[in-house]
Amino acid sequence: MILWSEYAWLGGDDVAAGVSIEIADGRIASVAADSERPANATVLRGVTLPGLANVHSHAFQRVLRGRTQRRRGSFWTWREAMYAAAERLTPDDYRILATATFAEMALAGITVVGEFHYLHHQPGGRSYDDPNAMSHAIVEAAAAAGVRLTLLDTCYLHGGIGAALAGTQLRFGDGTAEAWAERVDAMAESRTARIAAAAHSVRALTPGELAVVADWARERSKPLHAHVSEQLRENEDCVAAYGRSPLQLLEEAGFLAERFCAVHATHLSERDKNALGAAATTCGLCPTTERDLADGVGSASELSAAGASLALGTDSNAVIDMFEEARAVELDERLVRGERAVNDPAALLAAATAGGYSALGWDGGMIRPGACADLVALALDSVRLAGTPDDEIVPALVFAAHPSDVTDVLVDGDWVVRDGQHLKLDVAAELKRALA
């Protein structure tokens, strides 16, 4: 297959014109800018980007969109509504809901998703006949929606530091970290679905249990993710129990390596930020959820300066819009710092693409030979982007683009979205059915 793009972002501050992209066996075989349109090429109007990467998602939380906004409180009161949603799901329900949610992501230009999955078992904690029934539902959902998947199978063993699992949390636990590892080892990978590891948080695992998860990921060279310092209370509880920050506890357990993604990384000390940077880790920021839950605002610019890479996620899926996630990193930080342009637009676009692909264990998020043939095209004649000068397309995308500007999406060399329509699913109808 040969594509010819009017414009394409090949990295950096500007876009290239007249870009031919040859695809073979799900990979980009060649890229040539300033080229004449080949006679046999499929034309992509507007601007072509590498596929967008959603580094952190909880698909089932899509049911909460619009349903918690009148409840005053905090993250901890919102969590009760989230538990109520989780309590009702069966594997069949989850497959339907996740399919619709992932298809919404595809329409928004998301080509790979990291599903941070801890809803493992039946209500009360008993395993299904297939202990991975819920995991298989997610894998099937991603395939049906046409998106690439890294299933971040999450170890979750305690209801808080020193507290047992209770209520809905019983569905999350495998009893021991060793039992978690045994269950995860039974999962098979495919061409577009991979299995990786996550520790929910320092609230949900002891130091010894964290080490088991870290060892599992290291021995298999798998990505490793964890919620880190999302809430001030998490930091306070961790210091009270262990005399150190959550990040220090994870560091001692062997988490800090290039494969590690610290999700949220909102309330970090200078020492924590420098440690993440020194280990060349990734920080997975989810600003639309972080502000929706009143978590706080992290410092992307300081994390980048320390040497950490950035990636972006939709987390609770209150919003599915990677352009909004990218600009929110900058705009939220502006409010805190009282200063503009502290994060470079090209770096924010890279966080939404290559940063997420790398943190999820895929060679993608860039338009270059050898990369995954995952691409997204956006119209430049929409009311948001019309009239944008050629040398300002990158900042315009970050600060003005919207999922409705997405016209075409390609995953693994196959079309998923054409002319703004999902080729397999009536996504609005599927969401309505899933959320009924």
| Active centre residues (catalytic) | 264, 315
For the chain, report the end-to-end CA distance as a whole number of angstroms.
40
> Comparing C-alpha atoms, which of 93, 302, 298, 301 is closest to residue 313?
298
**CA atoms of 383 and 377, how far apart (whole Å):** 16
Q: Give the three-state DSSP class for 358.
A: helix
Q: In what order do the strands lie in the sheet with 27-32?
A: 27-32, 16-24, 2-8, 42-50, 375-378, 406-411, 414-418, 421-422
Question: What percent of the chain is helix, strand and coil (3-state, nearest 5)?
Answer: 40, 25, 40
> Comparing C-alpha atoms, which of 265, 254, 340, 342 is closest to residue 310?
265
Torsion of CA 162, 163, 164, 166, to 10 degrees: -170
Query: Tokens 């040859």 label which residue?
Result: 22
Q: In what order do the strands lie in the sheet with 260-264?
A: 52-57, 110-117, 148-155, 193-199, 224-228, 260-264, 282-285, 309-312
What φ, ψ does residue 272 adopt, rounded to 5°? -65, -45
Q: Are strands 42-50 and 2-8 parallel, antiparallel or unpaired?
A: parallel
The residues that bridge with 30 in the sheet, in sequence order, are 22
